């Protein structure tokens, strides 16, 4: 790695990618950005990023490449169909912060190793708020040396933890999403119960803050439920994608995870009802529909 400011490429400038790029630019790193929808990356140019016309152009000469894409299919397409992997120089490090299946992450690591490129699967937790504040939790799977080399670059993004070999970061992210989804379900059910019982949901949330039920989900997503603000921080369709991956991993490991199965079915129904692009806290809408005889609320309210 050359000097204190390695050349960085960032592939994916969406809800999460754009604020992560801003954190890197703010820390003084030179960043070249590419995004499938070019217009979403244009504001980053005004803030100091260089804009590439293709993934291959973006990664040319880069020492560290970040990907923040919607799913494993998108990552595979950008790397191996659109030429990014071929354009990576030997010795470069790819940090995939997307949330994808662990077996796909291991496959990418193997294919890139054949090109002498290190691969780190490094999914994140903390949502858009964490990306903007630089407080993300980053779960890294991959070789120790490569993770040590990128640690100073990742520092502006949040807290990095090396959790194991290739694929381990994705396993930990699935477990994180499992907890988030189940907790969103618990908070949403409690909101429905409280309102049906005649109490004020906002005052209920304030009353239990600081007790054993306290959590980031109660704090952030509970507030969204009360304000009925379901603009996407974490879209429900991506939460569903992660829960399906949890189910696949559990099945492959012959595990019975009943709570995960229940919340998976709930998110299936929410997305099928047309709420795939709403925030995952909108699971409340599905529960209100199930209980509309008591709440009087429908999904479109």
Q: Is 253 exposed, middle or buried (0-12, 13-18, 19+ CB in 10 A)?
A: exposed
Give the dihedral sign, CA 218/205/188/214: positive
- Residues designated as active site: 173
> If you search the block for the tokens 């381990």, which residue do you land on?
168
Q: Residue 162 and residue 149: Cα distance in Å, rounded?
A: 12
Q: Are 83 and 115 in contact (CB under 8 A)?
A: no
User: What are the distances in angstroms from CA 184 to CA 8, 188, 194?
Assistant: 35, 6, 15
Q: Is 86 exposed, middle or buried (0-12, 13-18, 19+ CB in 10 A)?
A: exposed
Can you name the residues that pair with 7 across neighbouring β-strands?
none
Q: Residue 180 and residue 37: Cα distance in Å, rounded?
A: 29
SS3 198: coil
SS3 300: coil
Q: Residue 117 and residue 91: Cα distance in Å, rounded?
A: 5
């Amino acid at each position: 790695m050359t000097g204190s400011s390695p050349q960085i490429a960032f592939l994916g400038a969406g809800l999460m990618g754009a604020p992560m790029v801003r954190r890197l630019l703010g820390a003084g790193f030179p960043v070249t950005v590419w995004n499938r929808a070019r217009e979403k990356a244009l504001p980053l140019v005004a803030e100091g990023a260089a804009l590439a016309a293709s993934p291959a152009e973006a990664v040319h000469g880069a020492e560290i490449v970040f990907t923040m894409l919607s799913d494993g299919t998108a990552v595979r397409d950008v790397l191996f169909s659109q030429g990014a992997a071929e354009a990576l120089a030997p010795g470069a490090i790819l940090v995939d912060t997307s949330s994808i299946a662990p077996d796909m992450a291991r496959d990418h690591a193997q294919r890139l190793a054949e090109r002498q490129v290190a691969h780190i699967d490094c999914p994140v937790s903390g949502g858009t708020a964490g990306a903007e504040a630089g407080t993300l939790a980053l779960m890294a799977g991959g070789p120790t040396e490569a993770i040590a080399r990128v640690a100073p670059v990742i520092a502006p993004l949040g807290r990095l933890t090396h959790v194991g070999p290739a694929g381990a970061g994705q396993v930990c992210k699935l477990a994180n999403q499992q907890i988030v989804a189940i907790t969103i379900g618990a908070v949403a059910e409690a909101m429905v119960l409280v309102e049906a019982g005649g109490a004020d949901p906002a005052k209920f949330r304030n009353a239990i803050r600081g007790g054993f039920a306290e959590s980031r989900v109660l704090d952030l997503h509970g507030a969204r439920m009360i304000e009925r603000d379901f603009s996407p921080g974490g879209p429900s369709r991506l939460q569903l994608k992660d829960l399906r991956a949890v189910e696949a991993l559990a099945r492959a490991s012959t595990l019975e995870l009943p709570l995960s199965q229940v919340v998976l079915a709930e998110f299936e129904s929410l997305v099928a009802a047309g709420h795939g692009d709403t925030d995952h806290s909108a699971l409340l809408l599905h529960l209100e529909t199930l209980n509309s005889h008591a709440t009087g609320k429908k999904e479109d309210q």
